Amino acid sequence: MLTTEDWLARAREGKDVASCLAQGERAARWPDDWLGLAAAWLDSGDVAAARRCVGTALERAQGEHWPCRRAAEFLLTRLGDRAAAGAALGWIEARLLSPPSYMPTQTYQWVLLARAYQEVLGDTESVHRCLASAATGASQPKDLEALAEGYVEFRGDLEEARGLLERAERLSLERGDYRELWSIALKWSESLHDKERARSLLELATTGTSDIQTLTALTIAWRSMFQDEDALRGALVRGETLARTLEDWLVLAEGYRDGGDSSREGTWDPVGVQRCLEAALAAEPAPSDPQREQLAVAFRRWLGDEARAAQLAPTMRSLESEAVPWRHFEGWEARDPRALLHRLRTRLRPEDLTAMANADYGSGAGKHHQALLEIQATGTFPLPLPWEPREVLELTRWTRGADTPHVRRAFACTVLALDVVLPISQQMGELEDSLAPLLESAWALGLDAELEQLLVWLADVMEPAAGYAWPLFALVLTLARRAPGDPRLGPLVAAFEAVEPEASDPHPDFGALLCATGNERYRDLWHELATEVLDPARGLPPHLEQLARRIR
């Protein structure tokens, strides 16, 4: 599916520019798409079209800070329109003054807007107005921290900023919120350049808290702010004096693994990890089977101890043990749910794994990379799919456009699909979010046969409450794309139409066809895939023609 960026790239080649930009507008979904189009129209000499696109960007942004700020910068620097730039920032201010009920205005947002008025327009009057609004609602520690930053940056008022941070400290200590002291310490260090005050605050947090999660978070603070390994280790040692449960010891083991830096590839302190994992095993009550699996993963990934991992959990939960077939679709003798995964993992290159591991801006890259390597090597993964690598797989799934790395995206979507259909899955998304990009990528890679095996298995095991219309629809499209006359399609379409109404909401493109997904980008992709396959020009049989008529 071509994106606005793809059409902009074609326009930059200098051929059929107006046509490419018109196609780019049809593909546009986000404010930044429209700003890119505005720049391209302006480069082509069409000022009116550029202004129209900036206006659309602002309408789509609905007062969101960064798109509106970028629109203001464009209006000022590219169109020389200071009044329009001020109006663009005014969209942000209007939203902060009348925010939606589900997203009340925060003090830091006023400080961000003050910075925009200063940096884009040099508008001192608006800066002070924003700071006054920020001060009006500042009552919580985070508010006071943001306001202190603004007072230093825009007023040079160090004394008032110190008072605000001291007040934030008192409030946090009164509430026993020692983790918040880290944020306050950052302001002492970065805004007021008082590193000694910042250090003393981290020391107070480390010695004052009795919460294991806070202590492991403080290891990151000690690493990032001071590179102080002694203080970092002290936080973990204090945690060991407080730990009681298996969960406590597992958190501390991970702290010793990370050493304040979750992106590292290797383990920081293997001895500390070993000590905490052994303590976790000895904790009361005895670990349950799922907890033993967690510990097995920790021994394997953090210590490289395969033997101990196998001893702890000789039979890990599997797709076969967790997925119960609810129905059986005839005509597929082979229905190996891992067939597609096995093909994809052989195609993954080292640079693919590295790119996926870093998908969350590098956060936790080392642990994500370890988890991805395991899946590539074995074709299996712990169930439910843990945070590492679930988070980066979900981010990889979002990849779009002409340059989509299809092997990566198909791999990510396959793993997510295998996990999300299980009752124990911890994913927030739905199966349909993974299926649309999976179809596009698997088709591009020529893996239709393996994809069919996965889809028929998904349709077999989806719980009735979850509905199986999506994998059925995906299976219909995949089979119809390859062989529209296949006799299996008639029963599949009938089965799909029997369950589809339960999964549908009205939608202008589909009528009532499969619009339950709340994700607009996947609605568009589903529509594009369906219209490609169910094109009447292909000479479709009656049951597919009937389906095609609903997608116009």
| DSSP at 30 | S
The predicted-structure confidence for 201-254, as pLDDT tens digits, reads as follows: 999 999 999 999 999 999 999 999 999 999 999 999 999 999 999 999 999 999
pLDDT at 507: 47
Does residue 12 register a pLDDT over 60? yes
Q: Is residue 249 included in any domain, yes or no? A: yes
What SS3 state is found at 210? coil
Q: Is residue 76 included in any domain, yes or no? A: no
Burial (CB count within 10 angstroms: exposed 0-12, middle 13-18, buried 19+), residue 260: buried
Query: What average pLDDT score do residues 98-123 get?
Result: 97
Q: Which of 419, 402, 410 is nearest to 438 (CA)?
A: 410
Q: Is residue 229 included in any domain, yes or no? A: yes
**Residue 539, both tokens:** 């000479």
Q: Do 508 and 479 reside in the same domain of the chain?
A: yes
* Domain extent for 417: 321-549
Q: Is residue 466 included in any domain, yes or no? A: yes
Q: Is residue 187 included in any domain, yes or no? A: no
| Cα–Cα distance measured from residue 129 to residue 524, given in angstroms and rounded to the nearest whole number | 42
For the entire predicted model, the pTM comes to 0.89
- Indicate which CATH number applies to the domain containing 244: 1.25.40
Does residue 488 register a pLDDT over 80? yes
Q: Do 285 and 429 reside in the same domain of the chain?
A: no
Q: How far apart are the first and last CA of the chain?
A: 18
Domain boundary residue, one of 316, 334, 365 = 316
Q: Is residue 70 included in any domain, yes or no? A: no
Does residue 198 register a pLDDT over 60? yes
pLDDT at 520: 64
Q: Which of 509, 500, 506 is nearest to 530 (CA)?
A: 509
| Cα–Cα distance measured from residue 134 to residue 106, given in angstroms and rounded to the nearest whole number | 8
Q: Do 264 and 327 reside in the same domain of the chain?
A: no
| Geometric angle at alpha carbon 306, from 300 and 311, rounded to 5° | 105
The predicted-structure confidence for 283-317, as pLDDT tens digits, reads as follows: 999 999 999 999 999 999 999 999 999 999 988 88
Does residue 500 register a pLDDT over 80? no
Q: Is residue 66 included in any domain, yes or no? A: no
| DSSP at 523 | H
The number of CA neighbours under 13 Å toward the Cβ of 91 is 24
Burial (CB count within 10 angstroms: exposed 0-12, middle 13-18, buried 19+), residue 51: middle
Domain boundary residue, one of 281, 316, 351 = 316
Q: Do 349 and 467 reside in the same domain of the chain?
A: yes
Q: Do 526 and 401 reside in the same domain of the chain?
A: yes
Does residue 451 register a pLDDT over 50? yes
SS3 string of 64-123?
A: CHHHHHHHHHHHHHCCCCHHHHHHHHHHHHHHHHCCCCCCCCCHHHHHHHHHHHHHHHCC
Neighbours of 117 (CB within 10 A): 24
Q: Do 381 and 444 reside in the same domain of the chain?
A: yes
Cα distances (angstroms) measured from residue 175 to each of 153, 286, 458:
29, 34, 49
Q: Do 305 and 358 reside in the same domain of the chain?
A: no
Q: Do 345 and 300 reside in the same domain of the chain?
A: no
Q: Do 442 and 468 reside in the same domain of the chain?
A: yes
The predicted-structure confidence for 52-84, as pLDDT tens digits, reads as follows: 999 999 999 999 999 999 999 999 999 999 999
Please, which residues have CB within 8 angstroms of residue 461's CB and are 6 or more apart in sequence?
Answer: 323, 324, 325, 326, 421
How many structural domains compose the chain? Answer: 2
242, 248 Cβ separation under 8 angstroms: yes
Query: What average pLDDT score do residues 18-27 get?
Result: 97
Q: Do 283 and 407 reside in the same domain of the chain?
A: no
Q: Is residue 523 included in any domain, yes or no? A: yes
Q: Do 299 and 357 reside in the same domain of the chain?
A: no
Question: Model confidence at 517, in pLDDT bands (50, 70, 90)?
Answer: very low
Domain boundary residue, one of 316, 331, 356 = 316
Can you state the angle between helices 107-116 and 124-136, rounded to 10 degrees? 180
Rg of the chain (C-alpha set): 28
Q: Do 309 and 453 reside in the same domain of the chain?
A: no
